[in-house]
Structure 1
Amino acid sequence: LSFSRPGTLVPPDIERDEPDAPEAEAPARPSAPRDAAPAQGAQASPAPAAGTEPEEKFVGEAFGTYIIVQRGDSLVFYDKHAVHERLLYEKLKKQGGASFSQMLLEPVTVTLSKEEYSAVLESR
């Protein structure tokens, strides 16, 4: 792992929806993106026993998108956008308790006259 300016840490630029609101509680352990590949040289470590997870230490930020955290002898990259979505989801889930679903759209066949069809093509 290399950085262009060694020793320079930049605090993450995190946007908040409500500036005066109390800080949201972060999920205990956000899931890694499905398409994320382990960092080069990273080794899979066995899962720690419940309640004995290593302490997380902020390391820095990469590309204005990822927060880098040291957990034990591993580096963890958090995607700020994904973490923000997860926080919003957890907040909605806690508030509502209702299921999150919506009706599926079904195709509707429409019969148009030649004039209507021409008007549709012209309005594109």
Structure 2
Amino acid sequence: MIWLTALTVAGLAALGLWMLLDRNLKRVVLGIAVLGNAINLAVFAAGRLGAEQAAFTPAGQVPLAAANPLPQALVLTAIVIGFALFAFALALLKRSRDLHGDRETDHVSAVTEEPAPDLRQGPDREGQA
């Protein structure tokens, strides 16, 4: 079972990195979500999938079918943070699409490196004494 989990984590991580390296902004945002899920699954699997040993009990007093609550709590927190990051990335994607259209990352990078609109007019612009 742990081998299947490890292969799933590796596959999700590879897919997430591949999507992050794409030039399409939609795939970059989806790559963030997929990579986050791969990391969550890796943390969850690191806490042992079986119930051989509980987190905070002495070695001889392991309750039957006890699960390790620490990785579960960490993953639950990471899911909430990952969802907030995904929602923020979707908001940025929508704003970028409204301003620049459905573009690639190179175009958006070129636009963000341009000087601000008020700096293009020079020192003798309207409104200054």
Structure-1-length-normalised TM-score: 0.25
**Structure having the larger proportion of residues in strand:** 1
TM score, norm. by length of structure 2: 0.25
Q: More helix per residue: 1 or 2?
A: 2
